[in-house]
């Protein structure tokens, strides 16, 4: 099997230079260097007899202490036909439930539960019920206020979705958050579809309850399988991205699972980790060049 190694830096830092790239190429015996974006991303074509684990270990040592990410993938299957993305702290910079709670005056209590859940310390479903319970009586209008004043989109997200759509891929936003957010954010970023949990409402307030069953770790993986089947694809033809413990199922199931700026608990269980680049890193991982980007 032929492998390709991709080196990726944050587009704002331009941390890749010829000297470092050439040193990396020598270290893994790369036959060719192909720049995807000057000083931001490049591919190293690895010899046919390359052992993936050895190349990964060599590059991990080389990039240590540098703002550069490295990944090694099978060359023939790196370009994907679908994208499955988490929302909170992945496609947007915030955790929506934390923002709701902050405006409702229970921010510290909810944030503590969120952190423990994303680190895998407590069951996601139980944690969500606990957090939603703290929002009992919150006006529905608070959602609109959060969307208007507190939500920012993660760098590279629009380009990621638009470029994959332009190349025929199916795109889905799958969140353990809430449909009142995913409906707006999916539309703004151009996703084909979205799935999330539903907060129960009574009049113009939330009841502090969520519709069961909760969309958590297993449900995210199930959603990937269902979406792939619906579109005549396999999960192996998808690239998935997330940052929390409840994303691990879909990251493991997808052909390429990417832990983006993830918690250590998640990063340690995911083969491909992007700690420095933005969401355009997922395009470079698939071999897209910067000039191919849409949006």
Residue 7: closest CA among 268, 290, 274, 292? 274
Question: Is 86 considered catalytic here?
Answer: yes
88 part of the active site: yes
Quote the CA–CA distance of 81 and 92 in Å, as a whole number: 23
Selecting among 43, 88, 98, 247, the annotated active-site residue is 88
206: phi then psi, degrees, rounded to nearest 5: -90, 145
Distance CA 44, CA 67 (A): 18
Rg (the chain; Cα; Å): 20
Q: Quick one: DSSP state of residue 295? A: -
Single out the catalytic residue among 43, 86, 98, 243: 86
Taking alpha carbons only, the member of 107, 230, 120 closest to residue 172 is 230
Q: How far is 127 from 133, CA to CA, in rounded Å?
A: 10
Match 């690895």 to its residue by tokens: 46
Residues 6+ apart with CB under 8 A from 2: 46, 48, 74, 75, 76
Active site residues: 86, 88
């Amino acid at each position: 099997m032929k492998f390709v190694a991709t080196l990726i830096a944050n587009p704002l830092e331009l941390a890749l230079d010829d000297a470092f790239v050439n040193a990396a190429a020598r270290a893994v015996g790369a036959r060719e260097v192909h720049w995807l974006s000057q000083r931001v991303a490049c591919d190293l074509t690895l010899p046919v007899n390359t052992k993936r684990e050895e190349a990964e270990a060599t590059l991990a040592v080389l990039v240590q202490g540098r703002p550069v990410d490295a990944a090694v993938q099978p060359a023939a299957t790196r370009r994907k036909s679908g994208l499955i993305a988490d929302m909170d702290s992945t496609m947007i910079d915030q955790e929506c439930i934390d923002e709701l709670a902050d405006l409702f005056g229970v921010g510290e209590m909810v944030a503590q539960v969120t952190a423990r859940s994303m680190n895998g310390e407590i069951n996601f479903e139980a944690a969500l019920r606990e957090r939603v319970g703290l929002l009992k009586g919150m006006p529905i209008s608070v959602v609109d206020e959060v969307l208007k004043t507190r939500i920012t989109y993660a760098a590279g997200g629009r380009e990621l979705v638009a470029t994959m759509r332009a190349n025929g891929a199916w795109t889905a936003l799958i969140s353990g958050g809430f449909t009142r957010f995913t409906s707006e954010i999916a539309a703004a970023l151009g996703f084909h579809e979205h799935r999330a949990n539903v907060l129960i409402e009574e009049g113009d307030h939330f009841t502090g309850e969520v519709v069961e069953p909760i969309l958590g770790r297993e449900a995210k993986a199930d959603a990937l399988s269902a979406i792939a089947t619906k579109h005549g694809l396999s999960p192996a033809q998808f690239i998935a991205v997330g940052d929390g413990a409840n994303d691990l199922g879909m990251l493991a199931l997808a052909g390429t699972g990417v832990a983006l700026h993830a918690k250590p608990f998640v990063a340690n269980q995911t083969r491909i980790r992007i700690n420095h680049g933005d969401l355009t890193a997922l395009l470079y991982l698939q071999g897209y060049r910067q000039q191919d980007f849409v949006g």
